Amino acid sequence: MADLEGFSALVGDIYDASLDPALWPSVCESACTFINASAAGLIWQDTLYKAAHFYFEWGIEAHYSQTYKETYCKLNPAFPTLLFFDVEDSRSIVPDCVSREEYCRSRFGKEWLFPQGLVDGLFFNVEKSATSCDIFLAVRRMSDGFADDEMRRRFALVAPHVRRAVLIGHVIDRKTVEAAALADSFDGLTAGMFLVDAVGRILHANASGHAMISEANVLRAAGGKLGAADAQAEQVLLDSFTAAAAGDAAVGRKGMAVPLKARTGDRYVAHVLPLTSGARRRAGKSYSAVASIFVHRAVLDLPSPPEALAKEFKLTPAELRVLFAIIEVGGVPETAAVLGISEGTVKTHLHHLFGKTGASRQAELVKVVAAYSNPLIA
C-alpha cells in the first residue's frame, strides 16, 4: 500500500513538472527513491556533432555534468547503440548497449563512472531524431548493487509518465506556467490546447484548438464534445478523459498519449494532462475541467545515421563502436585506449568493417559514415 501511494504521488509530481520545469530535480529525487537508484536525469546527446546537454538531473555533481558535456559524451561506449532502441523501451546500459567488461575497461568507465562510484543504470529514449536523442537515465552506485528485476519493473512503471510530461513540456516551449492561469497562458501556443470535463465537453480552447475544430481535419466538436476525426481514436480519446477524472493514479502504465490520424492522412498526437491532482488542480477547479489536451503534428521518425549504417552493412554493436571511435579519436592505439580493448581486437573489427563496407582504408570509412550523416537520408 505504501508503494502504491508513493507511486501515485510520484506520478502527480511528474505531471506537475510538465508545467513547472523547476520541479524536475525534486521529481528525479523522488523517482530515485521509488526505483532504488542513486541518480537520475534527462540528457540530450547528438551522435553527429558529439554534443550533450543535461536538461535536469539529481544525484550527479555539477563537476561531472560539466566534464560529461565537455569530454566524456564523446567517449561513452553505450553510444551509438543506445540510440537504436524504440522510444519508451526501458533498457539496461549493461549488457543491452555494451558488455560489463568493455564498460569497465573503457576510458569512460575508468575516468567518469568509477570516480563517482557508478556501476549500472537503466534508460529509455524519450524522443529520437535522425542524429540525436533525449534519454531519461537512472543509475546506481556500487553500494546499491547492479540493476535487478525489481528496479527494472519500477523503472518501466515510471517511464511512460516521464515521457508524457517531457513532451508536454516541449509543447509549451519549456516555459514555467502557473497552473492557476493555465488557459490564458496557453492561448499563444501553436499546438491545439483544450480543457475538457470527464465526458469530453470542451470548456476552453486556445486559438489553435479552435482552428483545428473549424477545419475538422484532425478533431471535431459534435455537440460541444471533443472528438477525433479518426473513428478508431474516438473511444481511446474518450477513455483518456474518464481516466483523467479519476486522478493521476488512474492514468496507468501506458500514460496518456493518443495517436490521431487526420482526414488528409497526416499523423498527430494528443497528450492528455490530468488536472485533478497536485498544483494542476487550481486550473481544473477554475474551469471544472479534468484534463488539458495538447494536440500537435507527430514528428517524422527517421532512422539515425548509426542505425542506418548498422542495418545497411549488418554491423554488430562492437563494430559500430570501433567505427565511430576510429573517426572520432583516430588510429588503432587511440581507439583501443578509449574503448578499453586490445589493439588486436580493434584491428579485427576494422578488418570486418572493411569487408562489410567495401572500404580499404580508414579514410574511406569516414566517407561511408559521412554519406549517412545527412538527416534527410532514410
DSSP letter string over 7-65?
HHHHHHHHHHHTT-GGGHHHHHHHHHHHHT-SEEEEEEEETTTTEEEEEEEESS-HHHH
pLDDT for position 174: 46
Q: Which of 98-107, 115-124, 184-193, 240-249 has the lowest mean pLDDT?
A: 184-193
* String of DSSP letters for 72-89: GGGT-TTTTGGGGSPBT-
**Spatial distance between the Cα atoms of 101 and 250, rounded to a whole number of angstroms:** 42
pLDDT for position 178: 46
**Spatial distance between the Cα atoms of 65 and 139, rounded to a whole number of angstroms:** 14
- Residue 375 pLDDT greater than 50, yes or no: no
Torsion of Cα atoms, 271 then 275 then 280 then 282, to 10°: 140
**Is this structure's pTM higher than 0.85?**
no
- Residue 46 pLDDT greater than 50, yes or no: yes
Position 331 confidence tier, pLDDT thresholds 50, 70, 90 = confident
**Spatial distance between the Cα atoms of 251 and 244, rounded to a whole number of angstroms:** 7
Q: Which of 296, 287, 297, 295 is nearest to 183 (CA)?
A: 287
Instruction: Tell me which residue has cell 527513491.
Output: 33
- Residue 336 pLDDT greater than 60, yes or no: yes
**Spatial distance between the Cα atoms of 162 and 134, rounded to a whole number of angstroms:** 12
Q: Which of 119, 121, 127 is nearest to 152 (CA)?
A: 121
> Pick the residue with more confidence: 252 or 166?
166
**Spatial distance between the Cα atoms of 238 and 199, rounded to a whole number of angstroms:** 7
pLDDT for position 377: 37
pLDDT for position 60: 95
**Spatial distance between the Cα atoms of 5 and 99, rounded to a whole number of angstroms:** 36
Whether the CB-CB separation of 353 and 362 falls below 8 Å is answered with: no
Position 200 confidence tier, pLDDT thresholds 50, 70, 90 = very high
- 3-class secondary-structure state, position 220: strand
2-171, what's its fold? Beta-Lactamase (3.30.450)
CATH topology match: 179-297 vs 305-371: no
Summarize pLDDT for 171-189 with one digit per residue, the tens.
Answer: 765 444 444 445 555 666 7
**Spatial distance between the Cα atoms of 42 and 56, rounded to a whole number of angstroms:** 6
Domain ranges of the chain: 2-171, 179-297, 305-371
- Residue 252 pLDDT greater than 70, yes or no: no
pLDDT for position 171: 74
Domain range 305-371, CATH class = mainly alpha
Position 326 confidence tier, pLDDT thresholds 50, 70, 90 = confident
Whether the CB-CB separation of 326 and 340 falls below 8 Å is answered with: no
Pick the CATH number of 179-297 from 1.20.140, 3.30.70, 1.10.3470, 3.30.450: 3.30.450
User: In the structure grid, which three cell numbers stand for residue 15, read together?
Assistant: 505531471
Phi, psi of 274 (to 5 degrees): -60, 140
User: In the structure grid, which three cell numbers stand for residue 375, read together?
Assistant: 538527416
User: In the structure grid, which three cell numbers stand for residue 304, read together?
Assistant: 539515425
